[in-house]
Structure 1
Amino acid sequence: MRTRRVSDSPILIGVDVGTTNVKAAAYDAGGRTLAVVSRALETSHPQPEWTEYEPQALFDSAADTVRSVVARIESRAITGIAVSSMAETAVPVDAKGHSLRPAIAWHDPRTAPQAAWWEQHLGAEVVYSITGLPILPIFGINKLMWIKEHEPEVYGRIAHWLNIADYIAFRLCGVPATNLSLASRTMALDLRARQWSSELLSACDIAPAILGDLVPSGERIGQVHQAASERTGLPVGTAVMAGAMDHPCGALALGIRQPGDILDSMGTTESILTVLLEPVLTSEMARSGYQQGIHADPDKVYCSGGLYTAGAAVEWVKTLLAGSNSPYADLVDLANVAPPGSGGVFFLPHLRLATPPINDASSRAAFIGLDANTSPSHLIRAVIEGLAYEAQFSIDGLEQLLGFRAERLRAIGGGTRNALQMQVKAALHGRPIEISDVEEATTLGAAILAAVGTEVFPNMDAAVDAMQVSYRNITADDRSGQFYRRSYETVYRDLYRTLAPLHHAVAAMQPV
Structure 2
Amino acid sequence: MFLGIDIGTSGIKATIIDERGNMCARAYRPLRAYGAVERKRELSPVQVKEETLQAVAEVLHTSPTEKIRLITVASLGEAVVPVGADGCVLMNSIVGSDSRGSEELKEVACRFGEEKLTEITGLNLSYIYSLNKMLYIRKHYPEIHRKVWKYMCFTDYIGFVLTGEAVIDYSMASRTMAFDIRKKRWSDEILNAVQISKELLSHPVPGGTVAGTLRKEIKEELGIFYDIPVLVGSHDHIFNAIGAGAVKPGICSNTVGTTEGITTVLGSRIDSRSIRENLISCEPFVRPHLYNTVAWHNAAGAGVNWFLDHFFGRSEEPKDLILAGLNRQQSHPPSHLLVVPHFAGATAGHMDEKAKAAVIGITMATSREEIYKAILEGTAFECRVILDSIRHAGIPVKKVVVSGGGSKSSLWMQIRSSILGRELYCSACADTGALGGAVLGAVVLGLYRSLKDAAGQMVRPGTVVEPEAEAARIYEERYELYRQMYGRLRDINERLSDGVSYV
The TM-score range, normalised by the shorter chain, is 0.7 to 0.9
- Secondary structure of the 1:125 match is helix
Deviation of 1:185 (Å): 0.9
The 2-side partners of 1:89 and 1:361 are apart by 16
Deviations 1:319-373 (A, max 9, x none): 5666563822343344x24x62434x43333333335323444444444456676
Structure 1 residue 394 corresponds to structure 2 residue 390: no
Kept in 2: contact 1:132–1:286 (CA 8 A): no
Aligned length: 494
Kept in 2: contact 1:90–1:162 (CA 8 A): yes
1:145 is matched with which residue: 135, 149, 154?
Answer: 135
- Secondary structure of the 1:71 match is helix
Question: What residue identity is the alignment partner of 2:254?
Answer: D
Matches within 5 A, 1:53-202: 53-73=43-63, 77-95=67-85, 97-202=87-192
TM-score normalised per structure 2: 0.88
The 2-side partners of 1:46 and 1:310 are apart by 18
Cα distance change of structure 1 residues 64 and 303 upon mapping to structure 2, 3 Å threshold: same
Q: Root-mean-square deviation (CA), in Å?
A: 2.9
- Secondary structure of the 1:110 match is coil
Deviation of 1:424 (Å): 2.5
The 2-side partners of 1:365 and 1:103 are apart by 25
- Which is worse superposed, 451-460 or 167-176? 451-460
Deviation of 1:229 (Å): 1.1
The 2-side partners of 1:58 and 1:320 are apart by 27
Cα distance change of structure 1 residues 310 and 103 upon mapping to structure 2, 3 Å threshold: closer
Kept in 2: contact 1:13–1:450 (CA 8 A): no
- Which is worse superposed, 154-163 or 174-183? 154-163
Q: Which runs of 5 or more structure 2 residues have no equivalent in the other structure?
A: none
Deviations 1:441-487 (A, max 9, x none): 11222233333333333433333222142311001244443343344
The 2-side partners of 1:371 and 1:154 are apart by 51
Question: What residue identity is the alignment partner of 2:454?
Answer: A
Cα distance change of structure 1 residues 506 and 219 upon mapping to structure 2, 3 Å threshold: closer
Matches within 5 A, 1:240-389: 240-297=230-287, 299-317=289-307, 325=315, 327-334=322-329, 336-337=330-331, 340-343=333-336, 345-368=337-360, 376-389=368-381
Larger Rg, first or second structure (1 or 2): 1
Cα distance change of structure 1 residues 139 and 429 upon mapping to structure 2, 3 Å threshold: same
Give the structure 2 partner of residue 4 of structure 1: none
The 2-side partners of 1:318 and 1:42 are apart by 17
- Secondary structure of the 1:222 match is strand
Structure 1 residue 440 corresponds to structure 2 residue 431: yes
Matches within 5 A, 1:200-239: 200-239=190-229
The 2-side partners of 1:157 and 1:376 are apart by 50
* Percent pairwise identity: 28
Give the structure 2 partner of residue 511 of structure 1: 498
Deviation of 1:305 (Å): 2.3
The 1-side partners of 2:378 and 2:168 are apart by 39
The 1-side partners of 2:134 and 2:176 are apart by 10
Kept in 2: contact 1:257–1:297 (CA 8 A): no
Give the structure 1 partner of residue 467 of structure 2: 476
Kept in 2: contact 1:67–1:234 (CA 8 A): no
Deviations 1:159-181 (A, max 9, x none): 43332222222222222211112
Q: Which runs of 5 or more structure 1 residues have no equivalent in the other structure?
A: 1-10
The 1-side partners of 2:198 and 2:381 are apart by 43
Question: What residue identity is the alignment partner of 2:333?
Answer: P
Deviation of 1:189 (Å): 0.9
Kept in 2: contact 1:220–1:454 (CA 8 A): no
The 2-side partners of 1:61 and 1:365 are apart by 32
- Secondary structure of the 2:242 match is helix
